[in-house]
Structure 1
Amino acid sequence: MGEELKLLGAWANPFSRRVEIALKIKGVEYEYLDGDIIHNKSALLLEYNPVHKKMPVLVHNGKPIAESLMILEYIDETWKDNPILPRDPYKRAMARFWAKFLDEKCVPALWKYCWSLGEEQENAYEEACGVLKILEGELEDKKFFGGNNLGFVDITANSVGLWIVVIQEAGGFNILTPDKFPRLCKWAEEFRSCPVVKENLPPRDRLYALFKARFEKISGSKDAELASRH
């Protein structure tokens, strides 16, 4: 029986890229439908994810699954080969715990720091360093968060593995550096070097150009706001 599998995603969206990495690890064939992550809420997206209206959405035989962590678990349960979640119940629960930490604590704190300016960014620095320190401690001396093999938490941490690295380069600031977080930086290199990851991350130069343009726009808006006060 043939299966129909579609992924509605966006090239620069780290949550969308998580799903692509998982599908490639599983060796599953799928059709990729690219959309605009900010401006274009297509009819297809509204049909498949009317609640959050966000990508990614995985559509399996006409049934949509939204939210990247839910999609990753669905993929792992549907296609049993090359598991991304541990089979041991305790380790599985811990992987879910750290994935939730990444999405609810780590990514928001880092995004707030990266996209703030001046005093607001300075105030966000301590919290951002705090979540990175927690991740650094969890890694210990492991190659990946789950041990020797790429898994659920590593895939979830892709924002730290590439996006934060490129954003800080484009913004001209440093938070994730080898002197502050040697284990995380080593993990990020290992993560990006994995063939299945390397083939399914957005082009670094294109991502850099996107973020550079965004920083210039934010800076220009801030300058215009300050000028209007005088």
Structure 2
Amino acid sequence: MEGDEVTLFGMWPAPMALRIEWALKLKRIKYKYIDEDHYTKSPLLLKYNPIYKKVPVLVHGGRPIVESLVILEYIDETWNEDCMFLTDDPCERAIARFWARFSDDKCLPAIVGVLSKTGEAQEKALKEAQESLKTLGEALNGNKFFGGEMIGYLDIANGWISYWVPLIEVVTGLKLVDENEMPSLHAWFRNFLDFPVIKEMLPPRERLLSHLKSLREDLIASSSNS
């Protein structure tokens, strides 16, 4: 991994790692992909991310960068000749960072809660997820993408929601995003997933659906045994 080589450590069902693959593909950056196992993490992954010990990790010229939102900005600043995910305007950049953090801090935990919980705890998580997703959808401001007419930083950061949430709805039988209540977000789901680079990088639907079903069973079993 010398010189200017780019290597991405990911995991096929990990949405945060898929963020980075989308970014690399959109920037047309050549990279080597290493798919990690959730239960047996490789010595290289532990070497490059000894603190969190998780994917994604981007290694560029032998130097590791960790945490998906940090990696996204690194990619955008390092390979900026053809397109930029974030604008040059400091205020717009700050707003985009705010919404990306809102999504990770509010939407993600609630969505995971819907998948992993039952009963009243699941009902509470569902309400939190719906409220957070509705708020996130308002950030579209009627645009096709969070980035306006073209995919940008926030679309890449939030893109996993458009694919994972409908599958979680299938697994749980609960509706997180109602087309009538969140029309902008629902339309963005279609627009984002129809974008050619995004579509070609999506995990196989049935494989991911099976993974989410097994994950839910494991999480519920683990919770009942604790």
TM-score > 0.5, shorter chain as reference: yes
How many angstroms does 1:165 deviate by? 1.4
Q: Per the alignment, in what secondary structure is the counterpart of residue 33 of structure 1?
A: strand
Q: 2:39 matched to which residue of 1? A: 39
- Conserved 8 A contact 2:22-2:198: yes
Q: 2:167 matched to which residue of 1? A: 166
1:67 alignment partner AA? E
How many angstroms does 1:78 deviate by? 0.6
How many angstroms does 1:199 deviate by? 1.3
Paired residues in the alignment total 223
Q: 1:55 matched to which residue of 2? A: 55
Find out whether 1:23 has 2:48 as its counterpart: no
Q: TM-score, normalised by structure 2?
A: 0.92
Say if 1:30 and 1:85 are closer, same or farther in 2 by CA, change over 3 A: same
Which stretch has the larger CA shift, 56-65 or 77-86?
A: 77-86
Distance 1:24 1:9 in 2: 14
Distance 2:185 2:16 in 1: 20
How many angstroms does 1:2 deviate by? 5.8
Unaligned runs of 5+ in 1: 226-230
Find out whether 1:177 has 2:170 as its counterpart: no
How many angstroms does 1:75 deviate by? 0.4
Q: Per the alignment, in what secondary structure is the counterpart of residue 40 of structure 1?
A: coil
Which stretch has the larger CA shift, 206-215 or 45-54?
A: 206-215
Distance 1:179 1:218 in 2: 31
Q: Per the alignment, in what secondary structure is the counterpart of residue 98 of structure 2?
A: helix
Question: How do 1:78-227 residues align onto structure 2 when only pairs under 5 Å count?
Answer: 78-80=78-80, 81-217=82-218, 221=221
1:211 alignment partner AA? L
Distance 1:162 1:208 in 2: 10
Distance 1:136 1:72 in 2: 21
How many angstroms does 1:6 deviate by? 0.3
Distance 2:219 2:57 in 1: 29
- Conserved 8 A contact 1:170-1:208: yes
Distance 1:141 1:178 in 2: 14
How many angstroms does 1:140 deviate by? 2.5
Q: What is the percent sequence identity of the aligned residues?
A: 45
Unaligned runs of 5+ in 2: none
Q: TM-score, normalised by structure 1?
A: 0.91
1:160 alignment partner AA? I
- Conserved 8 A contact 2:110-2:125: yes
- Conserved 8 A contact 1:107-1:159: no
Deviations along 1:91-136, whole A, 9 cap, x unmatched? 1111111111111121112211222111111122221111012112
- Conserved 8 A contact 1:99-1:153: yes
Which stretch has the larger CA shift, 155-164 or 1-10?
A: 1-10
Say if 1:100 and 1:216 are closer, same or farther in 2 by CA, change over 3 A: closer
Q: Per the alignment, in what secondary structure is the counterpart of residue 139 of structure 1?
A: coil
Computing the radius of gyration over CA atoms, which structure comes out larger, 1 or 2? 1
Over aligned residue pairs, what C-alpha RMSD do you find?
1.9
Q: 1:76 matched to which residue of 2? A: 76
Say if 1:217 and 1:2 are closer, same or farther in 2 by CA, change over 3 A: closer
Distance 2:47 2:173 in 1: 40
Distance 1:216 1:46 in 2: 28
Q: Per the alignment, in what secondary structure is the counterpart of residue 150 of structure 1?
A: coil
